[in-house]
């Protein structure tokens, strides 16, 4: 216990314990800095509660759930309390716990957070194996785990495991045999040791975050044995690539971008794609290989070797288009690499060309607007670009030159690269809005950074990540998250857009929950901008 924290009456702390029946109690400042920690911390984390004092409360929660924690704490500021919510702890087995909170008025105001056991273990986004390993069903959650290990300096090895021939082996296979093989693979992943993480990044392609090479070798042996025992499996083989999750002298942000790019290449093109990215040389090797190809990437951007396709964002009450999002579609790869949209953007960020790419897309969007009267277009801008003073100057110059056309533009701040210079990004956003260009936070809820952006930046729109929208029709928990997002956005004067709406049921649910705008295949797939002049 921290002897310096004496301002909070003891009776209030006991009330907080009673509030959730917790075995851990944490008191924190409104911005999440721990000032008091008591309870069974040694049993849960192997250290006393004092270990967490003066640090962020997020250190108690698994990185994959940091976005949910950020949203929950923001909700407390609005509603005064948080009813029990299931989150995973940052202990060895990522055990699930009920987390509740209340805002205790000051001065100084403080958050009283309680952590206790779940009465019933619900099905969640990850499964715990018999030995304590955790399988993440969401590849983005796995990426957040890997980035947290990188930024935290934790010694981890990233293994990329591919079942080569998976698609061919499944062709014509009896359904029961295919399901049995899939179940066996899932079981092998769940038998990872305590503290290991695994996720299926694409069909037959798995990412594994482990403490050492031995854990990865044991997994590969189990998979090879499983394939030998299956008629379909004998037509496949296991390949693996390993890289240490360490910055290796690079800036953490640069190393994180290299990690994102490598995982995207593996998901898109398998072990061959990971090898071509330079992964054999570690994260530094990925950057070095990217720099070797940077000249061709720069030429590709300068010559606009891409197309824009436009998807409508509609008003849910009458389904009329409000604006169209410009989506990039590359025409060519880079030195033999067939890059999809995500790979193309991540590669540009990894080699320091995000500003050039964002400006090239902006030029194409402004040209499309000039030839398509009466429509509005949203363009995506990387967090790397938004915080750059040089980019800010070139962006504003282009808007001035575009004249009235620029007033039909919107900007979406993406989270492919996290903003590190918050003051610089805030200045860019303020100047955009002063010029009459609305700003939207993209993929809200997918990562904790978006909640920091909502607090730090004045924005006009917030786009809910599609994973929440897809799950909301069958999950009260996801509907609760969306309701909280609507409240948070409303508190700062921003309007909500729900993405990836594919069914009428989803559209009606979003409308009932107070979401005014929607985007997804239900309303139209990406195509030409309506009214475009040739």
What Cα–Cα distance (Å) separates residue 304 from each residue in 12, 201, 215, 299?
A: 62, 30, 45, 8
| Residue 448 pLDDT | 67
| Residue 265 pLDDT | 84
Which tokens hold the place of 183? 């179940």
What Cα–Cα distance (Å) separates residue 434 from each residue in 396, 427, 456?
A: 11, 10, 17
Which tokens hold the place of 18? 């009673």
Tell me the sheet residues that pair with 159: 208, 242
CB 230 within 8 A of CB 185: no
| Residue 293 pLDDT | 79
What Cα–Cα distance (Å) separates residue 259 from each residue in 39, 116, 278, 379?
A: 37, 34, 11, 25
| β 24-28/110-116 pair status | antiparallel
Residue in the block written with tokens 């482990």: 210
Where is 241: in which H helix or E strand? strand 237-244
| Residue 278 pLDDT | 83
| Residue 505 pLDDT | 95
- Distance in angstroms (rounded) separating the CA atoms of residues 91 and 194: 10
What Cα–Cα distance (Å) separates residue 58 from each residue in 88, 286, 306, 363?
A: 11, 30, 40, 40
Which tokens hold the place of 286? 């990925």
Query: Who's near 471: CB < 8 A, 6+ residues apart?
Result: 478
Q: Note the pLDDT tens digit of each residue in 261-304.
A: 888 888 888 888 888 888 888 888 887 877 777 888 888 899 99
CB 87 within 8 A of CB 96: yes
- Distance in angstroms (rounded) separating the CA atoms of residues 84 and 12: 18
CB 203 within 8 A of CB 166: yes
| Residue 334 pLDDT | 67
Long-range contacts of 36-42 (CB under 8 A, 24+ apart): 36/1, 36/2, 36/5, 36/8, 37/1, 37/2, 38/1, 38/13, 39/115
pLDDT along the chain (534 residues), means of 10: 43 44 79 86 87 91 81 75 80 82 82 76 41 62 77 78 79 69 80 78 87 82 84 79 80 80 85 82 82 84 92 96 94 68 84 92 94 91 91 94 93 82 91 94 77 84 89 82 84 91 95 95 93 56
pTM of the entire predicted model: 0.74
CB atoms within 10 A of CB 307: 13
Beta strands in 362-488 (DSSP E): 377-381, 409-413, 439-444, 461-464
Where is 116: in which H helix or E strand? strand 110-116
Where is 487: in which H helix or E strand? helix 476-491
Which residue, among 247, 384, 220, 377, has the nearest Cα to 312 in the 3D structure?
Answer: 377
| β 517-519/306-315 pair status | antiparallel
- CB burial of residue 299 (10 Å; 0-12, 13-18, 19+): exposed
| Residue 136 pLDDT | 65
């Amino acid at each position: 216990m921290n002897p310096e924290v004496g301002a909070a009456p003891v009776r209030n702390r006991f009330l907080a314990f009673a509030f959730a029946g917790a075995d851990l109690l944490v008191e924190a400042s409104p911005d999440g800095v721990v000032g008091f920690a008591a309870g069974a911390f040694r049993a849960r984390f192997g250290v006393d509660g004092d270990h967490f004092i003066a640090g962020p409360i997020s250190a108690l929660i698994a990185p994959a759930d940091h976005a949910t924690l950020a949203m929950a704490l923001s909700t407390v500021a609005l509603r005064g309390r948080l009813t029990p919510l299931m989150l995973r702890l940052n202990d060895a087995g990522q055990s699930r716990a009920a987390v509740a909170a209340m805002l205790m008025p000051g001065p100084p105001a403080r958050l009283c957070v309680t952590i206790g056991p779940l009465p019933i273990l619900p099905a969640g986004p990850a499964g715990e194996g018999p030995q304590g390993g955790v399988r993440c069903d969401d590849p983005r959650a796995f990426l957040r785990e890997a980035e947290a290990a990188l930024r935290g300096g934790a010694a981890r090895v990233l293994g990329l495991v591919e079942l080569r021939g998976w698609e061919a082996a499944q062709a014509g296979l009896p359904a029961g045999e295919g399901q049995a093989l899939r179940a066996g693979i899932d079981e092998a992943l769940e038998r990872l040791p305590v503290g290991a993480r695994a996720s299926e990044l694409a069909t037959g392609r798995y990412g594994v975050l482990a403490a050492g090479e031995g854990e990865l070798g044991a997994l590969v042996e189990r998979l090879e044995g499983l394939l030998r025992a299956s008629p379909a499996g004998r037509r496949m083989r296991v390949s693996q690539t390993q890289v240490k999750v360490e910055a290796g002298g690079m800036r953490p942000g640069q190393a994180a971008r290299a990690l994102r790019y490598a995982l995207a290449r593996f998901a898109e093109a398998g072990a061959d794609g990971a090898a071509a990215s330079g992964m054999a040389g570690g994260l530094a090797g990925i950057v070095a290989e990217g720099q070797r190809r940077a000249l061709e990437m720069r030429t590709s951007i300068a010559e606009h070797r891409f197309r824009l396709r436009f998807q409508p964002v509609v008003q849910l009450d009458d389904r009329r288009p409000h604006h169209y999002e410009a989506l990039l579609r590359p025409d060519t790869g880079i030195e033999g690499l067939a890059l999809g949209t995500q790979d193309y953007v991540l590669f540009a960020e990894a080699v320091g060309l995000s500003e050039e790419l964002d400006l090239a897309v902006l030029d194409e969007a402004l040209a499309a607007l000039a030839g398509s009267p009466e429509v509005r277009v949203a363009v995506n801008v990387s967090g790397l670009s938004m915080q750059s003073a040089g980019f800010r100057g070139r962006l504003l110059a282009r808007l001035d030159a575009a004249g009235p056309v620029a007033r039909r533009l919107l900007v979406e701040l993406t989270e492919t690269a996290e903003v590190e210079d918050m003051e610089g990004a805030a200045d860019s956003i303020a100047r955009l809005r002063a010029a009459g260009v609305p700003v939207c936070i993209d993929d809200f809820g997918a990562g904790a950074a978006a909640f920091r952006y909502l607090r730090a930046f004045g924005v006009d729109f917030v786009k809910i990540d599609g994973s929440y929208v897809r799950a909301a029709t069958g999950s009260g928990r996801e509907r609760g998250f969306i309701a909280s997002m609507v409240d948070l956005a409303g508190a700062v004067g921003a309007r909500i857009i729900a993405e990836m709406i594919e069914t009428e049921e989803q559209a009606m649910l979003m409308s009932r929950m107070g979401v005014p705008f929607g985007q997804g295949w239900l309303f139209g797939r990406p195509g030409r901008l309506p009214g475009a002049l040739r």
